[in-house]
Structure formats: structure tokens, C-alpha cells
Amino acid sequence: MDRRKALRTIGFGTTAITVTPAVVGMLQSCQSQTSSYTPIHFSKDQFSVLSQLMDLIIPKTDIPGAVELKLPEFLDGFIDVVFNKQEQQRVVGGLDHFIAESLKDSGKSTAARLNASDCDAQLAKYLKADQQQQKAWNDENSAYQKAVKKDITLAAPASAKAHAFAMQLRSLTINAFKTNEYIGENVLVYAPIPGEQKGCVDLVEATGGKAWSPL
């Protein structure tokens, strides 16, 4: 399946963002923001890396990519409204670990020097790792979380934390894409006025294989 078709069917098997009025408001406001956006939870360099990562996950094809759709701005606002303080810190901390591992692997000195190629290599390292390696990272991260709950002081497992962040970012990026107004109305199957309920219908027959828009 090519990327264009994959993006149109990307809704299946992923956890959806709940489309509340607050989330809809963020979607609309993010689309109207200019390039002077000031991040809420990230530094300038962190936000630059985050934007590159999200644009690698949802690149521009004949469909706008993550940066053009302003998904990084949406994600920043989303975690501000929806996540609690601990969850917000986990996202920012995960990004810091991801950046640290990227700098180590690329040999570069600062996040500002990381480019799309560096970010792509790091995403591939974590998202395309074999099952055995992913399980090892998950187990390492789980053991660390249990130690923290018991007030046991351990060094955070950098690679495991970076892996957890990459997995979370992929999910958040896909869901932000699905709930974007342009995508919801022009790429996915959009029904502003729901029709009759059909309890058992073939998806390919009903929508041509496209996911339903959550808007």
C-alpha cells in the first residue's frame, strides 16, 4: 500500500483522541496560527525537533504533512489541555531523552544542529527495532517505573525512555492528523449529517476503504 492510501485508512487500529469542544477549538486555533507560534511546554530547540519528527511520521505527499497542518502546535495545546502535569512532564522528558540519544548517535553537540536525516535515523532505530529489542526496552522502562514508585533511586534508562517517547509520539501524531479539520473533511469520509444506522456493512463497499472522519 502506498503512503497516500495508508494515510486515508490510518484510522483503523489506533486509539482516537476524544473530540471534545476544547479539542475542536484547539484544532481551529492551531490552523490559524502564524509561524510566530510560541510553544507552551517546549523550548524553541525542542519544538524544532518535535516538528521534524512529526513531519517524518506524517510527511507531505498530495496530502499536507504534519507541519503544514500545524500538528506540532496542536499537540502542544492538546497536552496542555488534556494531560495532567505528570503526563506533560513525561512527554517533555521523553523528548529530552530522544534528543540526547540522537546527539550521541549523530555526534552533534546541540539539538539545534539536528536535522531531518538525524531524526529519521533515530525514529527508525526505535520504531523499526525487532520485537526482542522493543520488549527489552519496554521491560527496562517498566522496571524503572516500579523502582520510582518505591522511591528507589535509579538512573533513567535513556534508550528505553527514548523508545517509549517515539511510540507515544507516533500515536499522538496519527491521532492529531485524524482529527485535523482539513483531513477530517477532505481526506477521510466526512458525514456532517449522519445518515441511517447500518449495523453490518462492508467498509470497502461503504467508504471505499477509507476511515470515517471523527469530526
Residue 3's pLDDT is 45
pLDDT of 161-208, one tens digit each? 999 999 999 999 999 998 898 888 888 777 776 666 667 777 677 777
pLDDT of 120-170, one tens digit each? 999 999 999 999 999 999 999 999 989 988 888 878 899 999 999 999 999
Distance CA(175)–CA(177), nearest Å, equals 5
Distance CA(67)–CA(53), nearest Å, equals 10
Distance CA(200)–CA(88), nearest Å, equals 40
Establish if 213 belongs to a structural domain: no
Q: Is the pLDDT of residue 5 over 80?
A: no
What is the arithmetic mean of pLDDT over 11-28? 47
Establish if 12 belongs to a structural domain: no
Torsion, CA 65, CA 68, CA 72, CA 78, rounded to 10? -100
Establish if 30 belongs to a structural domain: yes
Average pLDDT, the chain: 84
Distance CA(185)–CA(181), nearest Å, equals 6
Residue 207's pLDDT is 72
Residue 7's pLDDT is 45
Q: Is the pLDDT of residue 52 over 60?
A: yes
Full domain range(s) for residue 40 = 20-182
* Range with lowest mean pLDDT among 61-70, 110-119, 195-204: 195-204
Sign of CA dihedral 179, 17, 170, 33: positive
Q: How many domains does the chain have?
A: 1
Establish if 187 belongs to a structural domain: no
Establish if 42 belongs to a structural domain: yes
* CA 88 centroid distance within chain: 14
